[in-house]
Amino acid sequence: MSTESPGVARHEDKSAFGFLIVASVFFLISGLVALIIAAKLHLPTLLGEVSWLTYGRMRPLHTNGMLFGWLLAADMGLCFYLVPRLCGVRLWSEKLGLATLGLWTFIILGAVVTLSMGINQGLEYAELPLWLDVLVTVAWVLFAVNIFATVAVRRYQQMYVSLWYILASILWTAFVYIVGNFATHFTSGVNQANLNWFYVHNAVGLIFTPLGLGIGYYFIPKAAETPLYSHRLSMIGFWSLAFVYVWTGAHHMLHGPISQWLQTVAILFSVMLMIPVWSLVWNFFATMKGQWHQLKDNVPIKFLMTGTIFYLLTCFQGPMHSLRTVNAIVSKTDWIVGHAHMAVLGAFSFFAIGGAYYALPRMLGTRLHSQSLANASFWLWLVGGLSFFVSLWIGGFLQGLQWNDATIPFIDTVKFMAPFWGVRLMGGLLMFTGILLFFWNVLITYMGRAERPEPAV
């Protein structure tokens, strides 16, 4: 979309831009659905008894919308932006990228229709009907072909760490998605649950984590205009994540009917996650040494470094509540809901938004419409997110203690959570306002791009 000079190839970024716009639209819609279902925890009769507006229909719509409509689409768009740049060549095929975008949009719209109609496979994060699963696989293959073909013709032999993460996540996503959405049909009972939790945990761990980290590794040095602290350390983090993450899913079934040794393996590898996590956080913080003053005015850096802190907190929580004693309290409570939201909305969405705020104006050859709006969206997300996550941690922990006391009726533990869910709703409202500002800023930046040309370097 940038202007081209005769004889010089520039990045077109059509696919990257398209994915980010589509992702922003689904971000808005999924955020609205999230607000409604959060309100339904207080007002179960809200929106009456229309079947497609019930909690059971809207909840999978929200989770799938946020995961695949917003975050994965945004990550794919940012991959289309950064991979050609890191390879020093244009994207292998913009036409293929746009075809992938068309198919992806069709899939998400198909998900909205089928889930609203109650067509649901009944497995967490794997609710989509089989024909949509097949289309997701096809779309992912198209995306993979474009990225791998771009990397294959790169100008530099040695790849920057973001490329390692993105290439690996493409392979891991295929593996995880096929196991979670197809292999589960050949099992039942506890074995199906084991496969499903492998998929649910690794949907975050082997899809959104490597994509998010690849994006962070690219945009933090770029936005701060300073080199990464250590490329070698980043590679240690990458390979340790590759060896460790796949084993951790069974920690969702601690104290369940799977063998003790499988639970122990999951706990052991969950604790070992500290290695890739700390290497990354150390690298990001050391990169920012002497650059922290940029937090004052640099909106992408605000999002990216706050995302790093949320990532650290998430990945400190994860190993801790995979320990049997802690898990006995927090498992299945609202603590886990707070933890999952901090990973997807706190860490990886902050990375994606930071990357989008950096990349979108550059794709359009313009400046962002409003730094003030971007700044306001950051504070709304930070305050809203913190109140959302912290209220659920506190409420969830106390809820778990109550569940361990057999003398307390279950319904009393539900009533006990009402004030915490109220804070969650208010936090969600702030975050949704932040999404609105983000969307508005992107829209006006696009519409007024000719009026604000990018200053010459």
- Region of 109-117, 156-164, 318-326, 408-416 interacting with other proteins (CB under 8 A): 156-164
Are the beta carbons of 174 and 139 closer than 8 angstroms? no
Smaller CB distance to other proteins: residue 262 or 281?
262
Smallest separation (angstroms) from other proteins to the CB of 11: 6
Residue 56 CB contacts under 8 Å (≥ 6 apart), including other chains: 118
Q: How far is CA 56 from CA 41, 115, 304, 410, in A?
A: 12, 10, 34, 21
What is the rounded CA–CA span in Å between residue 345 and residue 323? Answer: 24
Smallest separation (angstroms) from other proteins to the CB of 270: 14
Q: Which residue has the tokens 């994915």?
A: 19
The reply to whether 251 sits near other proteins by the rule CB under 8 A is no
Contact residue for other proteins among 31, 65, 214, 221 (CB under 8 A)? 221
The reply to whether 232 sits near other proteins by the rule CB under 8 A is yes
Smaller CB distance to other proteins: residue 12 or 75?
12
The reply to whether 247 sits near other proteins by the rule CB under 8 A is yes
Smaller CB distance to other proteins: residue 11 or 62?
11
The reply to whether 243 sits near other proteins by the rule CB under 8 A is yes
Contact residue for other proteins among 230, 264, 375, 433 (CB under 8 A)? 230
The reply to whether 258 sits near other proteins by the rule CB under 8 A is yes
The reply to whether 3 sits near other proteins by the rule CB under 8 A is no
Contact residue for other proteins among 147, 228, 343, 429 (CB under 8 A)? 228
Smaller CB distance to other proteins: residue 241 or 431?
241
Letters for 65-84 (x = contact with other proteins by CB under 8 A, - = none) are -------------------x
Contact residue for other proteins among 3, 157, 325, 407 (CB under 8 A)? 157
Q: How far is CA 447 from CA 102, 217, 270, 444, in A?
A: 22, 30, 46, 5
The reply to whether 239 sits near other proteins by the rule CB under 8 A is yes
Q: Which residue has the tokens 């990349």?
A: 359
Residues 357-396 that bind other proteins (CB under 8 A): 362
Positive or negative, the CA dihedral 326, 327, 333, 334 is: positive
Q: How far is CA 382 from CA 157, 293, 349, in A?
A: 40, 19, 12
The reply to whether 255 sits near other proteins by the rule CB under 8 A is no
The reply to whether 225 sits near other proteins by the rule CB under 8 A is yes
Smaller CB distance to other proteins: residue 287 or 314?
287
The C-alpha angle with vertex 143 and arms to 138 and 148, in degrees rounded to 5, equals 125
Are the beta carbons of 130 and 150 closer than 8 angstroms? no
Q: Which residue has the tokens 């390979």?
A: 239
Smallest separation (angstroms) from other proteins to the CB of 10: 6
Smaller CB distance to other proteins: residue 43 or 457?
457
Contact residue for other proteins among 44, 56, 88, 453 (CB under 8 A)? 88
Closest CA to 195 of 133, 261, 130, 126: 126
What is the rounded CA–CA span in Å between residue 276 and residue 284? Answer: 12
What is the rounded CA–CA span in Å between residue 434 and residue 306? Answer: 15
62 CB neighbour count, 10 Å cutoff = 21
Q: Which amino acid is at 338?
A: G
DSSP state of 250: G
Residues 395-454 that bind other proteins (CB under 8 A): none
Smaller CB distance to other proteins: residue 222 or 252?
222
What six digits make up the tokens of 134?
Answer: 């097949």
Closest CA to 62 of 386, 436, 337: 337
Smaller CB distance to other proteins: residue 59 or 367?
367
* Helix intervals (H) in 273-348: 274-287, 299-320, 324-330, 334-341
286 CB neighbour count, 10 Å cutoff = 12
Smaller CB distance to other proteins: residue 48 or 257?
257
Smallest separation (angstroms) from other proteins to the CB of 309: 22
Closest CA to 252 of 302, 194, 172, 169: 194
Residues 185-204 that bind other proteins (CB under 8 A): 186-187, 189-191, 194-195, 198
Smallest separation (angstroms) from other proteins to the CB of 141: 18
Smallest separation (angstroms) from other proteins to the CB of 27: 26
Q: How far is CA 228 from CA 78, 200, 280, 286, in A?
A: 19, 32, 11, 8
Count the site residues for other proteins by CB under 8 A.
52
Residues near other proteins, by CB under 8 A? 5, 7-11, 84-86, 88-90, 153, 155-162, 175, 179, 183, 186-187, 189-191, 194-195, 198, 218, 221-222, 225, 227-228, 230-232, 235, 239, 242-243, 246-247, 257-259, 262, 362
